[in-house]
Structures are given as structure tokens and as C-alpha cells.
Chain A
């Protein structure tokens, strides 16, 4: 499938320590007295401030030494400003003080360079004594079948010296290679880590031996070791529930606008600082009352979210005062007779739309619901009964399946995009937990065995720096593609971050979330997802939570989507999880009308033909390509 875009590469900047050091911990040596200055040494904080000011003026400027390629040089001899003593800092301290220090090309560590002519102060930067790099085969993390034996030998030889101390490069693979020039190299490396015998190696060597190291390891890629910030951990709702009386309660009363009755089991989340995700959350009781418990009672809730898992639109209130002690919130019931996102974009398709197409939904399990027919499936969750592929209670998979294939209709139900398809349910999520790549790959294999034509992946994880970051699911997707299956994946809901894997992978069609204000309940969470820019239709938007980027292929309705939840209810959900099955349904309708494609031999060409047919139907909604890809398929 020619997606016409490059593979996503991570652009995260390496983490640096955020703690500002004291003058003592910074390894600062004040040399004022030795330099003959008569002024008293400034207080530690003032010195630290001066360091920051000097370094920030210098950041971005390259020293003559750097320009000459001598990255490991120690810089000294700067113009001294009398008010500031001469200082010595380690590179690590420098990085931690300044933060984002520009990277010197080819260096294993970030260093700031201070040109002698312009800096007001004398600063010497001690470069690290060693450099750490990762030695890689030509592709991926491990040597594949097509890698030259000489490269494998070098990696294997390095592996044999893992954690044994420095090894002379003349001994790396030379005995089997007879390479005289390498045999004479006296450069040495330490092998600190290894991924498989003929896979990537973390090596360490003196910076001034860089050239010798590279010359001794032809055919290997050398890339700097980099460090990533840890991902934020989402804390579970249950872990933040506090018993009444442990702090100060803010009471929230949730009622239906339909009959003014309290609504039980509604999730209430009050943020005191939304940017930090600081706040409290609770569920309503049988009377529709929730108590948010805080250590110190806030006077204002920056945001108050109220989510019902079925039957009602959600609500979002901003800057809510807690002075009255009780906050009333009214939720609008879902009216299946009224327009909603799916109906707005696809109408009420005929019950035979998509007939003859098998669709695999890889999710929390789907069904039961009276409007859904599940043709088969498999529970891939390790440790669970493989025959139990219905919804695990998280509701997500049933909602997704309903978007594709629900057979109800107004005013008592909803109609999916392709009600005639055969839905196969593959459960990969244990209830309330994340899915293992093993279980996902197993589910994809099962979908291949059961001859699905399309698989829907409303799941993901942040894409790594290369496809080898998560090879297993990719391999399973490759095998599925070889069997003529097209995978359609959600872009992810990280508020305009890069497209998640597997959506980011070229093997998948990645879907962003499209919304229309006219079909959203006023004051709902869904309505709050509308942000600029609008599309050609000023009421349309790409949801604020949708991941975006060059990997986006198409967009689909993903805001305020009404669909099925067990056992016989309906819920409103937002997400690229909803946009993805909408596009899957559109793909199913399309190929059901093209027997020439459906009848092709089950191979990669078939999958490509399905993708091409889908992408060529897409029409722009007036957004840029990184928001909508080619647009909304028809």
C-alpha cells in the first residue's frame, strides 16, 4: 500500500535532570581568590544565577573546536568578566541547569559550547571521559537473514565481550575476517549491553577514538545513546477514591433532564488543575450523589466532568464554584430519534450493506446486544476461556462493533455503517487492564485463520523511534497483510500528539476523529472537543483529543458517537476508537460492492487493492492533511 508518507520517527528530546543544582552540587569551583580578584565570592544562589545567564547566552553557538570536529575538547580561556568568578562545570550539570541544550553533531552527550569572544565569564566545560553509542546491524535491532556474515560476526564478537572490560577493536571479528587494517587498531571499547548475540550493542569508548571505532566496525550503524522521559502513568479511578471523612467533600448531584431523577453509577471527575490532572473522582450512589474528597476543599473546580456509561450524554462545566457545598449537574438522555454523529455522516444504511465481508474487531470483546449479530470470534487473553469473546464489561468493544454493524434503527436503536457484515469478536483486553502484545498478535493470527477481510484496531501505544520498537504486532500485521487483510487503526487520543502504533505503521490505515457541532448535546464533553480550525463546513472540526500527523490516512466520525453497549443499552463515546470502526464499516461497504476485489486471491495485492479503493474515495473536509489525511471516505 503506497501511503505516500514517511515512517514516523520520534522527535522526543532526551531528558535532562530538572533539579537545579546548588553551587556545591554543581561542582563549582570558585577561583576568584586564585585569580587575584578582591571581590568577595557571591552567595551560592547568585553564582548559580550567573551560571545560567552565561550559559543561556551561549547556547546555540558552536565553538571553533566543535566546528573542527573535536567534540571532546575542553573549552577554556574565555574572556573573564570581573564580577563573575571562573567556574568549572561537568557537562551533566550544565545540561541540568540549562535544560534543552543543543546537541553537538556526532557527540554522545549534549554539551553547550561557549565561544571565547562573547561570553561574559570564564567557564570551562569538562567533556565526558567516554562516549556511549549503540552499534546496530544495517536494519532493525537484530541481524536478519540478509545481513552479511561479517557484520554478524562483529556483533557476535562484541557480544562475547559483554561486561568483561575493555576489548581491543583488533580482536573484533578480525580473526575471521583477515582484515589487516583493523587488526592494527589499538582503539578499545567496553560492551555494556547486548540485544541478542547478533543484535544491537551498547558500547563505550573514548571520544578521541571515534574515528578508529567507526573504521573498525564497518557495516554497523552507530547511533548515540539517548534517554526518554517516562510516560505519565494514568492512575486508576479506584486508587483515588478516598473514604468519606478522610478530607473535605464536595457533593455533586447528578439528575436526568428527562425526569429530574438522580442517576446512579455516574463517574464524576473534578479537576482543580487540569493541566496537571490534579483533582478527585467518584461515582454517584443510588440517589445520584457523588462526593469528591479533597485534603483541602477547593473554592473552585477548574473543570467538572460527569460521565454516564450509558443512556445519557456527558457534561462538562468550567470554573465551578464549590461555595454552596452542593453542585447540581443535569444530564440529557440519549434520544435515539434525534440526529447523532453516525446518522449525520452515513444516514441509515440498508441492512445488507457490507454483506459478504468479514470484519474482525480486536478489542475488549463485543456483545451481547439485541442489535448485534456476532458471527464468531476468540478470546485471546492469556489465562481466560478462549470461547468467551463477549464484552469483558468495559463496553468499548461492543460500542465499536455497533458502529460497524448494528442492525437497529431510529427511534429505538442505531444503525451501523455496514450492518450486513459478519463481525468476528477478538477479545485482547482483560477487564480494566491493558492488552499484551502477545494476545494482540494472537488475535490478529486468529482473524487471519478465520479469513477476515478487515480488522479493526481501536487500540495503540505511543510509537517508538523505529518500527523495531514493537516488532511482534507488526509481524502479525505483516502476516495478515500477506493473507489479503487490511488493518484499520485508531490514531490515538493523546491531545494532538503523534499517531500511536500500530496506526503510525505503514501497514495500517490510521484514522483521526472528526466531529460536527450540530449533532452534539450542548454542554457535553463531546461538544468541548471542538477546536479550531474548522473545516469547509464551519461546524466541523478535528477533535482536540485526536492524535495527528503525517501518518493520518483518513478521518471518521469520532465525537459524540452513539452506539451499542451490553446488554441492551446505548452510550455516547468520543475517541479515535469510534472514528476507526466508522471507517472500517465504510471500507466494508466499499469492497462488498466490488466483487473483483473481494474475489482476489488472499495475498498482499488484495490488501493493497482494498486500501487503494478506500483511500481513493476519501474527500477532504477542508482540513490540512496532518489532521484529516485524505479526508472522509465515502
Chain B
């Protein structure tokens, strides 16, 4: 199931929204900070509970690579 992050902008976290996410049966809250919630859910289910606004941003979880200058083998040699 995809993961999304709900980010609250500004100084006041939206605690009521966090509570709704926790209570929603189709949404699995994986982690919370004072400005973000990491959830596992289908996007449609998430959007039913929280809508993006100017102070609420919803983005997919993405990965970052550690920069590495060492060449790495990507494939076996062709015969």
C-alpha cells in the first residue's frame, strides 16, 4: 500500500486532523511529529479524510540516495 505524508504548515499543528487520521479505519498512521504524519493508505481514502489546502500538503513518500562516487557493478558481463 502506498505511503503518504501529511504536512502541516504554519505554527499550529492540526491536531484534530491527526486524530481523524488515527481514527480512520482505512488509514494506518505509521508515525507522527508536530508537523507531519506518515500514513499508509490509498490516496482516495486519505483524501476523504483530509484535503490539501494552503496549510496542509499531502505528498507521497520518496527515497533519497546517499551520494556515492564509487562506481558499482550494475550488470553481469555479457557472454
Contacts and interface: CB of A to CB of B under 8 A. Distances in A.
Q: Is the interface of B mostly helix, strand, loop or mixed?
A: loop
Contacts of B73: 235, 237, 240, 269, 271, 277-281
B53 A575 contact: no
B2 interface: no
A277 B66 contact: no
Interface string B31-42: 101111010000
Interface string A317-351: 00000000000000000000000000000000000
Interface residues on A, range: 35 or more
A360 B73 CA distance: 33
A278 B63 contact: no
B52 A437 contact: no
A460 B65 contact: yes
Contacts of B61: 436-438
A199 B69 contact: no
Interface string B57-69: 1110111111111
B71 interface: yes
B52 A278 contact: no
A2 interface: no
Contacts of A428: 64
B21 to A, nearest CB: 14
Nearest to A547: B67
Interface string A514-551: 00000000000100010000000000000101000000
Contacts of A363: 66
A623 interface: no
Contacts of A145: 53-55
A436 B67 contact: no
Contacts of A272: 77
Given A197-B51, A235-B75, A298-B77, A437 B65 contact: no
A490 to B, nearest CB: 5
Contacts of B12: none
Interface string A299-318: 00001010100000000000
Contacts of A5: none
Interface in A447-462: 458-461
Interface string A227-264: 00000111101001000000000000000000000000
Contact of B67 (A307, A458, A472, A479): A458
A277 B74 contact: yes
Given A272-B77, A461-B63, A472 B5 contact: yes
Nearest to A162: B44
A364 interface: yes
Given A278-B73, A445-B34, A575-B69, 7 more contacts: A269-B70, A280-B73, A295-B77, A394-B66, A472-B5, A525-B70, A577-B69
Which 8 residue pairs are nearest across A and B when measured between Cβ atoms? A145-B54, A277-B74, A434-B63, A575-B69, A272-B77, A493-B69, A278-B77, A437-B62
18 contacts: A198-B52, A237-B72, A267-B70, A276-B74, A276-B75, A277-B73, A277-B74, A278-B74, A279-B73, A280-B77, A295-B76, A307-B70, A382-B38, A438-B38, A445-B36, A470-B62, A493-B67, A577-B66
Interface of B: 3, 5, 7, 9, 30-31, 33-36, 38, 47, 51-55, 57-59, 61-79
